[in-house]
Copies of this chain bind each other. A is one copy, B any other.
């Protein structure tokens, strides 16, 4: 497998960077993550919008323009030939002489095999809530200090992942947005979250008898929801069946499945281009 560093291809075992990089020295970097199906990147312009925006917010310059970045990704896809994959684009603060001052960013593109079928057939998720507000939430930074640190906590609580809330206001999962479904509303947080591409696709759907609402909501509303699901580039709309050990709804997840089907249709459309 090859990895692209500053638009040069390296074998995985040679894909190294200097320990002077500001990601290692100061955790400074952004990234984005999109998937390919049959070697075609899905919704790539949406991901580029977010990636270039993250870079601007963090004062990082991307040496490649969108066309050049697209080409760099296609070059990697072509070289690796992993039809169904995740593409991770990382932009770090670059090599810094004093370990503090920002310089010329490093751009790293990594491709990871994704077993799309398997992930779709797995069971619903158990989440455990945790009081944490991500910093600079609108930017897809590489900061996962809490998520990684809490892996043990998640395991100890018999959960699959975290659900962050800010003093009771539900926010997001570390790598996914979060929705609940009530009698006639599909609700997701509006503020202080990373706005996922899949989340925005879901909000554009037409679901009969339901309206989408972006607002703050509480853990108590979550516990009493009819359905709950996460959205992400790899999982699309994926059911959650328990939170903090409390079962959510009747476990049928009818609306979540409908939403997931409609997302798969959008992906199929994009795939045809």
Query: Interface on A for B, CB 8 Å cutoff?
Result: 3, 5, 13, 15-29, 57-59, 88, 90, 92-93, 98-102, 108, 110, 112, 132, 135-136, 141-149, 151-152
Q: Which residues of B contact A5 (CB under 8 A)?
A: 19
Give the contacting residue for A26; candidates B25, B57, B136, B144; CB below 8 A: B144
A163 to chain B, nearest CB (A): 17
30 residue pairs bridging A and B, Cβ less than 8 Å apart: A5-B19, A15-B18, A15-B20, A16-B16, A17-B19, A19-B108, A21-B24, A22-B148, A23-B23, A23-B27, A24-B24, A24-B29, A24-B108, A26-B143, A26-B147, A26-B148, A27-B27, A27-B29, A27-B144, A28-B144, A28-B149, A58-B145, A58-B149, A59-B149, A59-B152, A88-B99, A100-B144, A102-B148, A102-B151, A143-B143
A58 partner residues in chain B, CB cutoff 8 A: 145, 149
The reply to whether A149 and B132 form a contact with Cβ atoms under 8 Å apart is no
Q: Which of B17, B20, B100, B135 contacts A148 (CB 8 A)?
A: B100
The chain B residue sitting closest to A97, CB to CB, is: B112
Complex Cα spacing A217 to B200, Å: 42
Query: In the complex, what residue of chain B is closest to A18 when comparing beta carbons?
Result: B16
Q: Count copies of this chain in the complex.
A: 2
Contact between chains at A101 and B24 (CB < 8 Å): no
Name the B residues within 8 Å of A59 (CB-CB): 149, 151-152
Q: Which residue of the partner chain B has the closest CB to A144?
A: B26
Cβ-defined contact, A135 with B145, below 8 A? yes
Quick one: given A102-B151, A145-B135, A146-B136, are A19 and B25 in contact (CB under 8 Å)?
Answer: no
A101 and B151 contacting across the interface, CB-CB below 8 Å: yes
The answer to whether B25 and A90 touch across the interface, beta carbons within 8 angstroms, is yes
Complex CA gap A255/B5 in Å reads 52
User: Once the chains are docked, how many angstroms separate the CA of A8 from the CA of B249?
Assistant: 55
**How far apart sit A135 and B17, CA to CA, in the bound complex (Å)?**
27
| Cα–Cα distance between A143 and B21 once the two chains are bound (Å) | 13
- In whole angstroms, what is the CA distance A110 to B18 when docked? 12
Q: How far is the CA of A17 from the CA of B100 in the complex (A)?
A: 19
Find chain B residues with CB under 8 A from A98 CB: 112
- Known A102-B148, A148-B100; judge A90-B19 contact (CB<8 A): yes
Across the A-B interface, the 4 shortest Cβ-Cβ residue pairs: A27-B27, A16-B16, A26-B144, A27-B142
- Indicate whether A19 sits within 8 Å of B110 (C-beta atoms), given known contacts A24-B90, A27-B29, A28-B148: yes
Residues from chain B with a CB closer than 8 A to the CB of A24 are 17, 21, 23-24, 29, 90, 92, 108, 142
